[in-house]
Amino acid sequence: MPATIVFFPEGAFGPTNNCVGIGEVLRERGHRVLFVVEESFAGNLEAHGFEERLMRLGPAPEVEEEPGQFWKDFIRETAPVFRKPTIDQLAEFIEPTWRALCDGSRYVDDRLREIFDELEPDVIVEDNVVAFPAILDAGRPWVRIVSCNPLELKDEALPPVFSGYPTADPLGWADFREQYKRTISELHAEFSQFCSERGAPPLRGSEFIHESEWLDLYVFPAALDYPRSRPLGPTWHRLETCVRRSQTEVVLPEHVAEGNGALVYLSLGSLGSADVDLMKRLVDALSHTRHRVVVSKGPQHTEFELAENMWGQEFLPQPALLPLVDVVLTHAGNNTTTECFHEGKPMVALPLFWDQYDNAQRVAETGFGVRLATYSFEEDELQTAIDHLLADRGLAERMASIAAGAQASPGTERAADLIESLARDHVPIPR
């Protein structure tokens, strides 16, 4: 029987695109698929053929917003903090980010209850990093998706999340964890009390979100995953990748489509590319290479120009573009990282915030790419990193093999199978 499945992704393109890929599979199987999205995203999901229910995570602005505008502004205002060591970012970026997310959960709780009462979904699927008590209090099966780095699922034998510290060297782990707990303790206690008051269980440890007793998914290739000291709970399932299908064909201009050198793709994501000075520096450094470059210019696309060996636009259809390129320069967001594995593309990682440091470190220490200091790299370092990855035939073969496996068994299909089973049987799904 057709089920009603409601997706509730965080108000950013990464989690939203992740859910769109799964939702498309479920819709094709005959299910009713709806998205709960911020008002700034209105129409974006309808363009993919989905029903929308709109909500806000804070008071309405005086002027019309672009999709995800709150986070674009937030990142731009706090960008100077990204030049500091990750332990110094805890108080100046991580805690304010958690606070903004928790405030959003408080603000939207009543509206979410209205939506769930109206739709009576068979399953609720959320891709968020903080709890929304309305989901747990709805009395319906729900799914948690982790589309950030899986260090979010903590293990004392692994580096602390947000640190970017090496897996093989525990030096500094304890200090980082202690500083993190001190930084978030007051906020965590307040938010846990809010969850309890609104019908959800209190939050454990230093967590800001609950595990689902029904089904939990995380997105990370096995070749990149961490050696845990203990297994995750029984309802956790790993998706190698979770890449939406692209209906768009990319037509590159002749000067980029053909010519000498490799085809390099530069993308710092819709948020990272808002740092115009960083984008200008990268464009200048890449203009001195022998390669052709495609640039995802982002929301500040009018604020800088590209060099003669380049082409780009404000937004590019990344899933359609990645098969065409040879190497990717990325902020190491989880979506881009896993999409690169889906297409077998090595990475130069330039992390900026949140879990990007963890992804960048893991890519480098497993040999699938190079991590550079985002704001202090030397131009010759960048050129050397690109050329090294292009020349490594062994790496190319490893990544091609991983990509073949991921494409033969798409994570979108696997996730849809599990969600469909939950909607049908209403029983927890062990791995």
Per-residue model confidence (pLDDT) at position 269: 83
Q: Please, what is the Cα angle at 421 between 2 and 129, to 5 degrees?
A: 100
Per-residue model confidence (pLDDT) at position 134: 97
Domains 4-243+410-425 and 254-408 share a fold: yes
Q: Write phi, then psi, for 293 (nearest 5 degrees).
A: -135, 130
The domain limits of the chain are 4-243+410-425, 254-408
Number of H helices, E strands in the chain: 15, 13
Closest CA to 237 of 146, 154, 161: 146
Per-residue model confidence (pLDDT) at position 68: 57
Q: Which one of 3.30.565.10, 3.20.20.210, 2.60.40.10, 3.40.50.2000 gives the CATH number of domain 4-243+410-425?
A: 3.40.50.2000
Per-residue model confidence (pLDDT) at position 129: 95
Q: Count other Cβ atoms within 10 Å, centred on residue 174.
A: 11
User: Average pLDDT for consecutive 10-residue bins of the chain (431 residues)?
Assistant: 94 84 96 93 88 90 66 69 92 93 96 96 97 96 96 96 97 97 97 96 95 97 96 96 83 89 91 82 93 88 86 87 95 93 96 94 97 93 95 96 94 97 96 90
Task: Indicate the residue type of 45.
Answer: L
Q: How far apart, in Å, are the Cα atoms of 306 and each of 198, 290, 310?
A: 51, 15, 6
Non-local (6+) Cβ contacts of 348 within 8 A are 327, 328, 329, 330, 369, 370, 372, 382, 385, 386, 389
Kindly state which CATH superfamily the domain 254-408 is placed in. Answer: Glycogen Phosphorylase B; (3.40.50.2000)
Per-residue model confidence (pLDDT) at position 72: 64
Which tokens hold the place of 211?
């595990």
